[in-house]
Structure 1
Amino acid sequence: MESERNMLFEQLKSLEEMKVYLMSQINRIGGNDAAIKMTSVYPMAKVKPMIINGYPVFQFSYEGALPLYKESDRDYLAMIRHYYFRATHDSYDFSKVDYQFDKSVIIIAQHFENKIIRDLDNRNRKLIQDAIRHTGLIGDDSWWRVWNFDIGFLDPRGNHVQVFVVSQDSFGDFMTYLKEKYFHLAKIPKATLKEEIFEEYRARVKREKKEKVSKEKERLKSLSNTKSEKFWG
């Protein structure tokens, strides 16, 4: 069980490393139009400021489920932190927002495509909160200024995460609204150009593997020749 768990985490790390390469290719061909500046992650979040029943709400939408948390793997955590920070900051020009919540609630609504048992208490949620804090929307995130609320919804369209920032005074009203309108409120980022980029990545991996095999053959051949010369004097 432990070896299988470690293998899965290594695969997740490889996927994140692959994202870095894929993002460079997407930027190269101009496929990341959602970004307000050149970025290193994909897909970007969708950010939408709204007025609901007369009060402001900020919505952040992220593709896919929150990745698993593994405190002991610092490289993996660094990649996940980088993704959520850049996906949040590079998707909207927050310098144009002349508003800051005094006392707020960050509602993290995780949407799942099936009813497989999952834990909403994923500590990678903190990475999203940190990214939102750096937008300037909520100031510091001390316990009395920022509350956190987790909720899950079933959504056959797929896994995604919708995050809402609302004032503490409007929290009760908004939760009533969210429970009724969550399906239509969701803005799901779509991964465009995915197949084209994946195919380019697969070609690169295949090419590098072929080069590695070739270099290894050359090394063994060289080593074999050296041993023969020493043997025969």
Structure 2
Amino acid sequence: MHGFVPDEKGRIRCHNLANTDRYFLQFSIKDILPTYQADQRYKREVRRFIRDQKEKYTLLFNDLSSLLEERPSYKKAIIYIIQYFPDNIRRDFDNRERKFVSDSLRAALIIPDDNWQNVTICESGELDSNNPHTEIFVGDHRDAIEIFSYVYNFCVSPFIDEMRSVPSHEKFYM
């Protein structure tokens, strides 16, 4: 198993940083992000798909964010998306709909806007044949190094098979 197993509704975790006044969020959602459908022959179906997916992710992020004691709002945010794929089939990140993620974070008031002045987005992929899912980390841009360090130590290879125990200073919300 790589990452954390989200249930159908997903999971949100809150991780304190070295400066305990600040923290970052980790959203775990079932499955990988949907692919972008560019085929013009199916415009109506594509529009319906996009509308349904946007609504799904917006509700998911709002529901998970409402579990927090205090909902953060990052003026300049870093968003790190890790997709845990079920196999080694080649997939391009630019064919995945990460727009749902940034739009949903904006709707949940975690980020003010998803333009270049407010958001930096990073993506990576991992293999997890038993648990295809997506982990989304969101925090203040100033804390990017600590967020990357956490991701490297707890969420990506080669340490994945030796998953370390969960730090005692983090809070779970389910």
Q: What is the TM-score normalised by the length of structure 1?
A: 0.56
Q: CA deviation at 1:146?
A: 0.7
- Residue correspondence of structure 1 range 1-233 to structure 2 within 5 A: 43-54=8-19, 55-71=22-38, 72=43, 73-93=46-66, 96-182=69-155, 183=160, 184=163
* 3-state DSSP of counterpart to 2:94: coil
- Give the aligned residue type for 2:17: I
Q: Is the 8 A contact 2:76 2:141 kept in 1?
A: yes
In the alignment, the residues of structure 1 paired with residue 108 and residue 70 of structure 2 have an alpha-carbon distance, to the nearest angstrom, of 9
Evaluate the alpha carbon distance shift between residue 49 and residue 122 of structure 1 in structure 2; reply closer, same or farther with a 3 A threshold. Answer: farther
Paired-residue identity, %:
25
Q: Is the 8 A contact 1:65 1:160 kept in 2?
A: yes
Which is richer in helix?
Answer: 1
Evaluate the alpha carbon distance shift between residue 94 and residue 141 of structure 1 in structure 2; reply closer, same or farther with a 3 A threshold. Answer: farther
The structure, 1 or 2, with the larger RCO (C-alpha pairs under 8 Å, 6+ apart) is 2
Q: Compute the RMSD of aligned alpha carbons.
A: 2.4
* 3-state DSSP of counterpart to 1:91: helix
- Give the aligned residue type for 1:70: Q
Which is richer in strand?
Answer: 2
- Give the aligned residue type for 2:14: P
Q: Is the 8 A contact 1:66 1:122 kept in 2?
A: no
Name stretches of at least 5 consecutive residues in structure 2 with no aligned partner. Answer: 1-5, 167-174
In the alignment, the residues of structure 1 paired with residue 106 and residue 127 of structure 2 have an alpha-carbon distance, to the nearest angstrom, of 28
Q: CA deviation at 1:58?
A: 0.7
In the alignment, the residues of structure 1 paired with residue 63 and residue 28 of structure 2 have an alpha-carbon distance, to the nearest angstrom, of 13
